[in-house]
Structure 1
């Protein structure tokens, strides 16, 4: 029961203090909290986004295959398939954005998220459709939902490694894809964060996860405020 409650609340961290709080909470019968009904509009839109993600995965696989093909005729076949898939991706992306913008509230959220440097249309779609809670949760809750929150494992004298786990995998992959170019080119705050972490001897993967988490926090902040990005947002 205690473990299931911990999973339900997205609490993957483990320590004696956290365990004590969970055990105490489970000794009482609490009325279920009111939950917001799921937005039925998102189902079809998410299906369209999933198709785009699958097409992107197909493109990546064909590019890998192309690296191992020497015969020019076969290379031409695979190259043509890649170009066709790219055209399909672009067309489906246009259709999805048009469908999303037909809803005024989703369009406003999309534009606010899109104002964050380093977040393009593809990533903004993932935010709006894969995390409808954006703007209504804390930065810690947002990171946990995306599987980007660092969780410590500790019990008594034993302390394990801090790591990320769980969350919404498709959203997390979109964040990873956006974090790298954002940290190297588009977002001044993320560039500074990446350099600072690398200067401390952190591994590239660790710094990239931190940048992805920060990008998520920026998106959550602008949606909460309902205003586009400014450089002061990075200080929030």
Structure 2
């Protein structure tokens, strides 16, 4: 009776072609294709374990993990997606020096058991995104891909034989049309589904449509967490590196790269056009901070301002610095 009620922890190693699944209660892992049919089989397999499933852990794999994570969340399972660095460090600590899909899946299952006992478990749980957030994020990701393709084709144009330049220009024109259409789609989504939140940020300079689309699609936690939590989630919080007598420089790492990139561009603009951020940046530089460090601090401040404004429901006004520390 006791054995039947023992919790089961699941680790899923996600690759482009496969989903390798390990259960803490089973000696062998299972594998399915990373497609719709394979995902349906995975859900049926996990459902067969029943209520014993305590936690499912996946490693972030460039977005490849998102369909499986979202589907498991939708079925009511507790799901955590961890940073690859954390997963690899845990595997090494457990003595898993070799690396295969099967070993990685079992290591994630062991990691799931550890995280389940942590007091941070609930904070780490994946919150299922709303359908409109998923659609907006897909638009943002596709736009980024097309912009990358546009840059690559532009770089080829100068060195390409004259006979092929017409082809490249045709591709560039098609890419530009697609990017323009995606911008229109993103604008429509922002207006239809995120108008209330964006109205609160209307007076904050530097936060343009591109940044808004990334924030609304890729950061649904905005306005729900404390300033410390949201900064760590995005990866702009300075982290201590102290041990014994060693006092290391504070650094930022991890977090959501797409949100960080959008914040970087927004901060570059805000440093020039938003008085609150410009004054903060100039004060740091005058105090001797390197410009790069000062800009990262501006990213942190801009994020915490937006988080506090949305959390409070009070529209941003430059005369209210308390928004930055709420």
TM over 0.5: yes
Map of 1:198 onto structure 2: 285
Q: CA deviation at 1:154?
A: 0.6
Alignment length (residue pairs): 209
Structure 1 residues 59 and 113, CA gap change in structure 2 (3 angstroms): farther
TM-score (norm 1): 0.75
TM-score when normalising by structure 2: 0.56
Q: Does 1:145 align with 2:236?
A: no
Give the distance between the partners of 1:161 and 1:29, measured in 2 at CA. 28
Q: Does 1:132 align with 2:223?
A: no
Query: Where does residue 144 of structure 2 map in the other structure?
Result: 53
Secondary structure at the counterpart of residue 232 of structure 1: coil
1:98-138 CA-partner distances (Å, limit 9, x unpaired): 134333xx321133234421100110111111111111111
| CA-to-aligned-CA distance 1:163-198 (integer Å, 9 cap, x gap) | 1000000110111111112212x2111111222222
Secondary structure of 1:227's counterpart equals: coil
Does the Cα contact within 8 Å between 1:143 and 1:149 map onto a contact in 2? Answer: yes
2:225 match: secondary structure: coil
* CA deviation profile, 1:194-215 (whole Å, cap 9, x unmatched): 2222222322221211111111
- CA distance 1:178–1:30, shift in 2 (3 Å): closer
What runs of 5+ residues in structure 1 fail to find an aligned partner?
1-6, 13-25
Equivalence for 2:246: 158
Question: Of Structure 1 and Structure 2, which has the larger fraction of its residues in strand?
Answer: 2
Q: How does 1:149-188 map to 2 (within 5 A)?
A: 149-184=237-272, 186-188=273-275
Q: What is the aligned counterpart of 1:91 among 181, 192, 206?
A: 181
- Equivalent in the alignment of 1:3: none
Q: Write the deviation string for residues 48-81 of structure 1: whole angstroms up to 9, x where unpaired.
A: 1110122223334445555x64977766765664
Using CA pairs under 8 Å that are at least 6 residues apart, name the structure with larger relative contact order, 1 or 2: 1
The 3 A distance-change label for structure 1 pair 98 and 163 is same
Identify the residue that residue 16 of structure 2 maps to in structure 1.
none
- 1:22 aligned residue: none
C-alpha RMSD of the superposition:
3.1
Instruction: Find the structure with the greater CA-based Rg.
Output: 2
CA deviation after TM superposition for structure 1 residue 217, in Å: 1.3
5+ residue gaps, structure 2? 1-80, 87-114
In structure 2, C-alpha distance between the alignment counterparts of 1:113 and 1:215, rounded to whole Å: 11
